[in-house]
Amino acid sequence: MTGSAALVTVLAVPLAGAAAALLVGRRGAAVVGLLTSALGVVAAFALAAHVFAGGLQRVAVGGWAVPLGMELRADGLATAMLLMTAVIGAGISVYAWRYFGADDHHDRHVHPVGPSGSGSTQWLFWPVWLLAWGALNALYLSGDLFNLYVTLELLGLAAVALVALAGAGAAAAALRYLLFALLGSMLYILGVELLYAAHQTLDLLQLRERLQPGVSVWLAAALMSTGLLVKTAIFPLHVWLPPAHGSAPAPVSAALSALVVKAGFYLLARLWLDLFGSLPGASVAPLLLGALGAGAVLWGGVQALRQTRLKAMIAYSTVAQLGYLMIALPLAGRVTDGAMHAAVLLAASHAAAKASMFMCAGSLLAAYGHDRIDALTGFGTRLPITATAFALAAISLVGLPPTGGFVGKFALVEAAVRADAWWAVAVVLLGSLLAAAFLFHALSRAFVEAPADTASARVARAPQLVALALALLAVALVAAGEPLRHLLAAGAAN
Partner 1 sequence: MSAQAWVPLAVVASSLLPGLIIFLLPEDRRGLRATLNLAGAFAKLALVGLMLWNVGRFQDYEARMTVLPGLDLVLRADELSLLFMSLSALLWLLTTVYAIGYLEDSPHRSRFFGFFSLCVSATAGIALAGNLFTLFVFYEILTLVTYPLVIHRGTPAALAAGRTYLFYTVPAGALLLLAVVASQVLTGPQDFVGAGYLKPFAEEHATTLVLLFVALIAGFGVKAALVPLHGWLPLAMVAPAPVSALLHAVAVVKAGAFAIVRVVYEVFGVEFAATLGVLTPLAVVASVTILYGSLRALMQDELKKRLAYSTVSQVSYIVLGTALLGPIATIGALVHLVHQGLMKITLFFSAGNYAETLGVHHVSEMDGIGRRMPWTTAAFTVGALGMIGVPPVAGFVSKLYLGAGAAQAGQWWAIGVLAASSLLNAMYFLPVLHRAWFRPQNGPWPHEDGRGRDAKPMLLLPVLLTALFSLGVGVLATMPWSPLEWAHLIMRKEYVGG
Partner 2 sequence: MTAEVQVFDAVLAVLLLWLGWRALASADLFKAVVQFIVFGLLLSLTWVRLGAPDVALAEAAIGAGLAGALLLDTLARMGPSGAADEARPLALTPARVGIALAVIGLAVLLVASVLALPARWPGLVEPALQQLSASGVSNPVTATLLNYRAWDTLLEIGVLMLAVLGVWILDAEPALPRPAPDPMLGLLLRVLLPLTVIVAGYLLWVGAHAPGGAFQGGALLAAGGVLWHLARPLSLGPSRAVRAVVVFGFAVFLAVGVAAALLGGGLLTFPPEHAGAIILVIEAAAMLSIALIMVALFVGRQRPATDPQAADTTGTQDTGAAP
Partner 3 sequence: MSLALLYGLAGIALVAMGLYAALAARHVLRRLLGLNVLGSGVFMMLVALASRASDSAGRPDPVPHAMVLTGIVVAVSATALALALLRRMHAHDGSPRLPEDRDDASDGPSP
**CB-based contacts of 318, cutoff 8 Å, min separation 6:** 233, 241, 245, 257, 261, 300, 350, 354
What DSSP element (H or E) covers 486?
A: helix 481-490
Question: Quick one: which segment of 25-33, 73-81, 229-237, 406-414 binds partner 1 (CB under 8 A)?
Answer: 406-414
* Cβ proximity to partner 1, 208 vs 485, nearer residue: 485
**To the nearest whole angstrom, how small is the minimum distance from the Cβ of residue 252 to partner 3?**
15
* Cβ proximity to partner 2, 64 vs 447, nearer residue: 64
**Alpha carbon distance, N-terminus to C-terminus of the chain:** 24
In the three-class reduction of DSSP (H, G, I as helix; E, B as strand; rest coil), residue 144 is classed as strand
414 part of the interface to partner 1, by CB under 8 A: yes
The binder of 481, among partner 3, partner 1, partner 2, none, by C-beta within 5 to 8 A per type, is: partner 1
479 part of the interface to partner 1, by CB under 8 A: yes
**What letter represents residue 271's amino acid?**
L
In the shown chain, the binding pattern of residues 431 to 470 toward partner 1, with x for contact by CB under 8 A and - for none, equals -xx--x---x---x--xxx---------------------
402 part of the interface to partner 1, by CB under 8 A: yes
How many whole angstroms separate alpha carbon 64 and alpha carbon 70? 7
Question: Quick one: which segment of 12-20, 199-207, 353-361, 376-384 binds partner 1 (CB under 8 A)?
Answer: 376-384
In the three-class reduction of DSSP (H, G, I as helix; E, B as strand; rest coil), residue 108 is classed as coil
The binder of 483, among partner 2, partner 3, partner 1, none, by C-beta within 5 to 8 A per type, is: none
Strand 57-60 with 71-74, pairing:
antiparallel
401 part of the interface to partner 1, by CB under 8 A: yes
Angle, helices 338-368 vs 481-490, to 10°: value is: 130
395 part of the interface to partner 1, by CB under 8 A: yes
Among 409, 421, 467, 487, binds partner 1 (CB under 8 A): 409
63: left (phi over 0), alpha (psi -120 to 50) or beta: left
How many whole angstroms separate alpha carbon 6 and alpha carbon 12? 10
**To the nearest whole angstrom, how small is the minimum distance from the Cβ of residue 410 to partner 1?**
7
CA 441 → CA 261, 304, 310, 377, distances in Å? 26, 11, 11, 12
Give the number of residues in contact with partner 1, rule: CB under 8 A: 33
418 part of the interface to partner 1, by CB under 8 A: yes
Cross-strand partners of 60? 71
The binder of 186, among partner 3, partner 1, partner 2, none, by C-beta within 5 to 8 A per type, is: partner 3
Calculate the CA 135 to chain-centre distance.
13
* Cβ proximity to partner 2, 270 vs 382, nearer residue: 270
User: What residues make contact with partner 1 under the rule CB under 8 A?
Assistant: 338, 378, 380-381, 388, 395, 400-402, 406-407, 409-411, 413-414, 417-418, 425, 429, 432-433, 436, 440, 444, 447-449, 478-479, 481-482, 485
